[in-house]
Chains A and B, each alone.
Chain A
C-alpha cells in the first residue's frame, strides 16, 4: 500500500524568503504525486501534479515541485513566499485502480512572518 510522509509539521518563513516543503512517498510502481493546499476554513485546492515526463513540474501560485525517484521525494518549492501563502500543505500519492484512491500525508502548516 502507498504512504506519504511529510516530516515537517510546522514551518515558519519570512515573507520574501524561499520555501521548500518536504514530501517522501512509498509506492511500488511509478507514483502519481500531488500537492494540495488548504487555507484556513477552506477545502483543499490542487497546486500541482506529477504523472510522468519532466520531473520538475510547475503549478499555480508560483509553486513548483521536483520528483526524485532515487530519493522517493516530491518536494514543493517557491522562490519567494507571500503572506497569503500561509496555509496547510498536503502531499498526496495516487494509485491507479481500486477507485484511484489518493493517500495524503499529515500536512505541513506554513506560517509567514511579515
Chain B
C-alpha cells in the first residue's frame, strides 16, 4: 500500500552513462515532482508535472528529462551522467488545488552515485 514508490533505491553508475529513475504514486494525485537533495541535505525542486503537463522546470541541465506517461507516473531520465549528479533524488506528489498542492507526499528517495 505504498503511496509514492521509487525504483531503484540505490543506483551506482559510471560517468557518461544514461540512467532512469521511476516513480509511481497510488494516491490519485494530479501533480508529481522531482527534487534533488545534495550531500549537505539541501533540497531543491527540479520539475513538476500536472496531469502529464510540465509545470515547473527549474534551471536544470538538459541532460535531465522528465517523462510522464500518465498522471500516476513520473520518470526521470539522465543522460551523460556526471560526478556532480551524485545525490538523492526524491519524487513527490500532491493534489493541484491551492492548499493541497503544498501537502506533498514524498517517496523514499533514490541514492545515485556516479563514479
Contact = CB atoms under 8 A, between A and B. Distances in A.
Interface of A: 32, 34, 38, 41-46, 49, 51, 88, 90, 92, 94, 96, 98-102, 104, 106-107, 109
A101 to B, nearest CB: 6
* Leading 6 A-B pairs by shortest Cβ distance: A43-B106, A99-B56, A100-B101, A99-B55, A44-B106, A94-B102
Contacts of A102: 45, 102, 104
B98 A104 contact: no
Interface in B32-87: 40-45, 48, 55-56
Contacts, number: 55
A101 B45 contact: yes
A49 B103 contact: yes
A45 B106 contact: yes
A32 B41 CA distance: 22
B99 A51 contact: yes
Contacts of B106: 43-45
Interface in B1-54: 4, 40-45, 48
Given A34-B102, A98-B56, A99-B55, A106 B108 contact: no
13 contacts: A38-B41, A41-B108, A42-B108, A42-B109, A43-B4, A43-B107, A43-B109, A45-B106, A46-B104, A99-B55, A99-B56, A101-B45, A101-B48
Contacts of A104: 42-44
B68 to A, nearest CB: 14
A96 B98 contact: yes
A41 B42 CA distance: 15
A98 to B, nearest CB: 7
A49 B42 contact: no
Contacts of A90: 43
A19 to B, nearest CB: 19
